[in-house]
Amino acid sequence: MRSKLLSLFAMFAVVLTVSGPVFAHHGNAAYETTISVTVKGTVTAFWFINPHTRFYLDVKDDKGNIEQWQGEMGPPTMLAHRGWGKNSLKPGDQITVTGHRAKNGSNSIIPQRIVLSTGEELLKGGRGGDEY
């Protein structure tokens, strides 16, 4: 009995040790979470697919040049529970996104808030990945 218990404990310890990296990529370490930025642009694509929903925007910079931005959100199942679907964002939609920009300066954002040009809020109070 003691060896079975010891084996079970050892197996449990191995599973915990090995599974840690599986959850590590869900952090926001790549994003500057102490500062929020807001961008306004035109949706060019919306991918309602696993493992993370993504959207792409064309945003005009201060000089009128078009910058391509991407936003990353949680998985479709999580968003679906909050009323999202594959047509929640469509190419051509004008949206304003407030969120956390990538630390490396790339045009990547984890949205906290998404507002359509009509004023409808699609996302309010989220924080990259887990709070949609």
Q: For position 128, what pLDDT does the model report? A: 44
Could you say which DSSP state residue 10 is in? H
For 91-113, write each residue's pLDDT tens digit: 999 999 999 999 999 999 999 99
Pairwise CA distance, residues 29 & 103, whole Å: 8
List beta partners, residue 108: 70
All domains in the chain, ordered by first residue: 37-124 (2.40.50.1010)
Pairwise CA distance, residues 98 & 100, whole Å: 7
pTM of the predicted structure, to 2 decimals: 0.75
| Least confident segment among 8-17, 53-62, 110-119 | 8-17
